[in-house]
Chain A
Amino acid sequence: MRYAMAVDTRKCVGCSDCVVACQTENNVPIGYCRDWIVEVTDGTYPQLEMEIRSERCNQCVNAPCVRCCPTGASHFADGGIVLVTQTECIGCGACIASCPYDARYPHPDGYVDKCTFCIHRIKNGMKPACVDVCPTKCLYFGDLDDPNSDVSVVLRKRKYKTLIPEAGTKPQLYFLI
């Protein structure tokens, strides 16, 4: 099992619904977020191109945050999801410094927090909150080992890229281009 998410940058409108939905679903305190939207515009007026990406933890296969964690709080769970066990985390910040995507943040309660791919929902047969809420349906989620999962299907059909592949993290967040 290998969970992954694909983001269709051609459909995403940058509305940030995925951000609020994550905040309410997961009780992310106000002033913090597990996902965020990047909007890149290239070119000179009037020849412009725009890419909008909904970003979050890439659930890297080769996750530096797991490697550098001194306590094992950061660990791989089922399907390759990178999780933080709050009661093992000492809040040293090493994992935050190690993530090339700045996907983690120190929760005001002390431990480090990040996207969990909504593991509590997937275990109950639901999709992650951000995927379920997205008005443009531009987020695809599923198991890469299952050829019929939404994410497998769309990755077969479309061209995609990952972010900073040269960092060697093997990210599992794919951006359809």
Chain B
Amino acid sequence: MNEEVIVSGRMNQMVDPHLHIWHWQISLYLFLGGMAAGILAIAAVYYIRGRENDYKTAVRLTPFLTPFLLVIGLLALFIDLRHKLFFWQLYTNIKLQSPMSWGAWTLMVITPVSFIWCALHIRDIFPSWDWKFKWLWALDEFFNKYKKALAWVMLIYAIILGIYTGILLSAFNARPLWNTSILGPLFLASGLSAGAAATLLLSKNEAERKQFARIDLVMIGIELFLIVHMFMGFLASTQVQIEAANLFLGGQYTMSFWIFVVALGLVIPAILEIMELGRYHIPVLVPAVLVLFGSLMLRFIIVYAGQVSRWLY
């Protein structure tokens, strides 16, 4: 028998008996950030490829969600900070090695970009709106002129944001479950999938819906592939990573992960979408909501389970 006891009764709050420093705020922040990244990336790609008119919802309408997603996400992050009065310190420092710093700055760029993108499409949505100020017109004109450049900026930062939501966690060597390079692509795919699901929900155009169901399917496929790879990687690795994987393979997070993330969030919506493409009539609401839910649960479970996984010494 091996017995390990902390005799001094260490009881550091949020650290003992196991780490629980990050809660729903971070999970939500990662989900909203990932979803916004997905939406903006898709909008930018279709705009750049000149498919704006085929996928009107994706390029013009769905992005209207992103300012809200990003602001709520930032708010969640802010709520999570314990020394709030000093939050501005995030923006007096650029720390290239800190994913948190990357995230803060990325959001600093992409949030205004998302606002501008929406502003450029306000007229599409409220055509009869009367723009009172001259300078607004000027501004509108300016950005319209450089809309392509703006789309590129948006695309790049959206991808950074999407990957960042995964990297934030995978950069932590200390938490074996997080410490896998697969988390970045996985969260990006999940974000894109959530972005596609958002358009699926909002679009009234049959062709567009079909296209986004296909995108979603591809993303789900990628996610499943990455998940399998992640476990294979863990199980072929050191003891600590095997233990990390075991959290999902018989350990305390097994049920929630396989039911909420894999079954409800990936497999079932995938089946439903295949059926939809195969001309069965499925209310579009169901797979789209399931995908969003699965994407949220993925963040929750990875954030929480990662804090349980630790080095053994």
Contact = CB atoms under 8 A, between A and B. Distances in A.
A90 B19 contact: no
B10 A70 contact: no
A43 B16 CA distance: 26
A89 B7 contact: no
A110 B7 contact: no
Nearest to A13: B7
A98 B83 CA distance: 18
Interface stretch (B93-101, B144-152, B277-285): B93-101
Contacts of A19: 8
A40 B98 contact: no
A105 B13 contact: yes
B100 A70 contact: yes
**Chain B residues touching A, majority SS:** loop
Given A64-B172, A68-B99, A167-B173, A110 B83 contact: yes
Interface stretch (A1-9, A28-36, A152-160): A28-36
Nearest to A166: B238
B21 A106 contact: yes
Interface residues of B, number: 49
A75 to B, nearest CB: 11
Contact of B86 (A40, A89, A94, A166): A89
A70 B98 contact: yes
A24 to B, nearest CB: 14
Contacts of B97: 67-68
Contacts of A70: 90, 93, 95, 98, 100-101, 103-104
Contacts of A166: 238
Interface string B76-87: 010011111111
A140 B4 CA distance: 24
Nearest to B26: A93
A32 B8 contact: no
B3 interface: yes
Contact of B5 (A39, A44, A64, A92): A39
Interface in B215-243: 238
Interface string A30-55: 01110111111111100000001000
Contacts of B311: 100, 164, 167
Contacts of B92: 71
20 contacts: A14-B7, A38-B6, A40-B3, A41-B1, A41-B2, A68-B98, A68-B172, A70-B103, A73-B89, A87-B86, A89-B83, A90-B81, A90-B89, A91-B84, A93-B21, A94-B98, A97-B19, A97-B22, A102-B310, A105-B12
Interface of B: 1-8, 10-16, 19, 21-22, 77, 80-87, 89-90, 92-93, 95, 97-101, 103-104, 171-175, 238, 307, 310-311, 313
